[in-house]
Amino acid sequence: MEKRVLLGMTTEELTEFVVNELGESKFRVGQIAQWLNRGADIDGMTNLSAALREKLKNAAVANPIRILESYKSKIDETEKFLYALPDDNVIEGVVMRYKYGDTLCVSTQVGCRMGCAFCASTLDGRVRNLTAAEILGQVIAVNAHVKKQDPERRVHNIVLMGSGEPFDNYDEVCAFLRKVNDPEGLNISLRNISVSTCGLVDKMRAFADEGLPVTLSLSLHAPNDAVRVNIMPVAKKYGMNEVLDACRYYVRKTGRRVVFEYALIKNVNCSVACADELAAKLRGLQCHVNLIPLNDVKERNLEAPSKQEVAAFLKRLTERNISATVRREMGADIDGACGQLRRKALADGRLQL
């Protein structure tokens, strides 16, 4: 019999399960809910009797996310994960260790349907959305994993930059953000969370009105629509002016700057003329530009430019008074880029879709 998943059950569902199916007293429901909120496993629910924990374990799991495989970089301490979902789909994630704490990159969908030309996550399209519990479950599973390596370690920052388009799964993503920030739960500050979107304008505007003070990252990757349309199909639906207007709205509503992600791709978007055009477009917008030399994806015919070209692009933006940095590469030896690990595992036949 397939086990039930406790995390993500509503109070009514949990009550039905604990009281009606397991025949336990109602008092247990609150206790179990409290443990789940804090990310405990059934074994960790120490105010339940051993017998009840056994009973629970026979019928249920706490977390819908199970770490299937992990790969640790020998260069830095970056670690990648393949996770299994209850329906046997697989997703991936990566944790990066910084001086101030661990940053976890979470997935929001199995696959993605946005079709960006440089991205491995979208190659097989979208399989399904993740539930809020499945997004939260990634944080809980990695917390438990890193804690075993060092009891001081825990996820401190979260970036929604794994597989999937967060705003294509808007309601579950907002529910996750509220849940992970819950003082009774993991209590991770929204200021330590970044949500990255390819630019779904209507959802960006709705999100500005949610009152969730996270950092909004916008995957721009081009200085104009002509270049953007070539690499990001979403640009056919929402032009750059509309996207930048939505960014201005976000800044106005939240008082927070927007971060622009710009993957530098050889012969596509990294000339000095592109830097000039980008600087002109962003003038006056409270923002930071994150330059990412493209992670080569072997299925795509796109590559990163030379170090010199990257440096020239950065210099030009800086000269034009645009705040910009080049993202440090981490986990280069473990297929750090999004969607690569899952694809590799599927292609090797080690896992099935």
Residues that bind ligand SAH in the complex, under the rule CB under 6 A: 114, 116, 118-119, 161, 165, 196-198, 219, 261, 263, 292, 294-295, 297, 337-338
Name the residue nearer to ligand SAH (CB basis): 254 or 295.
Answer: 295
Structure tokens at 328: 């440090």
Q: What are phi and psi of 103, to 5 degrees?
A: -110, 125
Name the residue nearer to ligand SAH (CB basis): 291 or 345.
Answer: 291
| Distance in Å, CB of 122 to ligand SAH, minimum | 9
Q: Report yes or no: 132 and 8 within 8 Å, Cβ to Cβ.
A: yes
| Distance in Å, CB of 116 to ligand SAH, minimum | 6
Alpha-carbon distance of 161 to 184, in angstroms, equals 26
H-helix or E-strand spanning residue 68: strand 66-72
Catalytic, out of 112, 119, 270, 338:
338
| Distance in Å, CB of 182 to ligand SAH, minimum | 24
Name the residue nearer to ligand SAH (CB basis): 86 or 115.
Answer: 115
Q: Tell me the pairing of strands 109-111 and 4-5.
A: unpaired
| Distance in Å, CB of 330 to ligand SAH, minimum | 12
Name the residue nearer to ligand SAH (CB basis): 40 or 206.
Answer: 206
Whether the CA torsion 167, 172, 176, 178 is positive or negative: it is: positive
Q: Tell me the pairing of strands 193-197 and 215-219.
A: parallel
Structure tokens at 7: 């995390």
| Distance in Å, CB of 130 to ligand SAH, minimum | 13
- Return the ∠ at Cα 333 (arms to 332 and 337), rounded to 5°: 50
Catalytic, out of 92, 134, 172, 261:
92
Whether the CA torsion 204, 341, 117, 221 is positive or negative: it is: positive
| Distance in Å, CB of 50 to ligand SAH, minimum | 43
Name the residue nearer to ligand SAH (CB basis): 186 or 292.
Answer: 292
Is 338 labeled as catalytic in the residue annotation?
Answer: yes
Q: What are phi and psi of 201, to 5 degrees?
A: -60, -45
Q: Where are the beta strands (DSSP E) in 266-327?
A: 287-293, 324-326
Contacts 24+ apart (CB under 8 A), 171-175: 172/108, 172/129, 172/130, 172/131, 172/132, 172/135, 173/108, 173/132, 173/135, 174/207, 174/210, 174/212, 175/132
Name the residue nearer to ligand SAH (CB basis): 317 or 338.
Answer: 338
What amino acid positions are annotated as catalytic residues? 92, 338
